[in-house]
Amino acid sequence: MNLVKDRKLLNIELGRMTPEEYRQRPGSGAVVVLDNIRSAHNVGSAFRTCDCFGMDKLWLCGICAVPPSAEIHKTGLGAEESVPWEYCGSTLEVIGRLREEGYTIVSVEQTVNSVNLPEFTPEKDARYAFVFGNEVDGVSQEAVDMSDFALEIPQSGTKHSLNVSVSIGVVLWHFTLNRG
């Protein structure tokens, strides 16, 4: 076996932007809406994933934990300081506001007419709001009803769902890769 000699990059070598630079970069045209996510660790992971993929904003709705929070900071690694965020008690109010601002509302949920993620090609200049749901109940039916469409992550195992933090990573990776 021929092993390749390689060296991990140090954090200082990664050339990461500061939180201020993050906020001033060109927008991605996408936001994430968390619909009643119970776990502060999942909220922290959402912050970190939104930072990684350059999302414009993270909306925390309903029972979501909000910064400052030790659990959010632990999993978010400080991303709550770079990703713009806002709290609203009502997911439906946020969806209505985003629709008025011209966003295409996409619930990440298994529905009768959901679009399989590999079949979703984001339009280059469209703005998207991805709604992710509660760890037990998923996206509320009312939020699904207000969405332009539902997006489903194909699965082939015995479980019918992924952890919400994993789902966020999968969808945002696909969005970023296929944005064009």
Decide if pLDDT at 49 tops 80. Answer: yes
CATH superfamily of 38-178: SPOUT methyltransferase, trefoil knot domain (3.40.1280.10)
* Tens digit of each residue's pLDDT (9 = 90 or more) over 72-112: 999 999 999 999 999 999 999 999 999 999 999 999 999 99
Decide if pLDDT at 164 tops 70. Answer: yes
pLDDT in the model for residue 2: 72
The pTM of the full predicted model, rounded to 2 decimals, is: 0.95
Average per-residue pLDDT for the chain = 96
Decide if pLDDT at 1 tops 80. Answer: no
> What is the average pLDDT across 37-54?
97
DSSP string for 86-152: EEES-HHHHHHHHHHTTEEEEEES--TTPEEGGG----TT-EEEEEEEBTTTBS-HHHHHHSSEEEE
13 vs 90: CA distance, rounded Å: 42
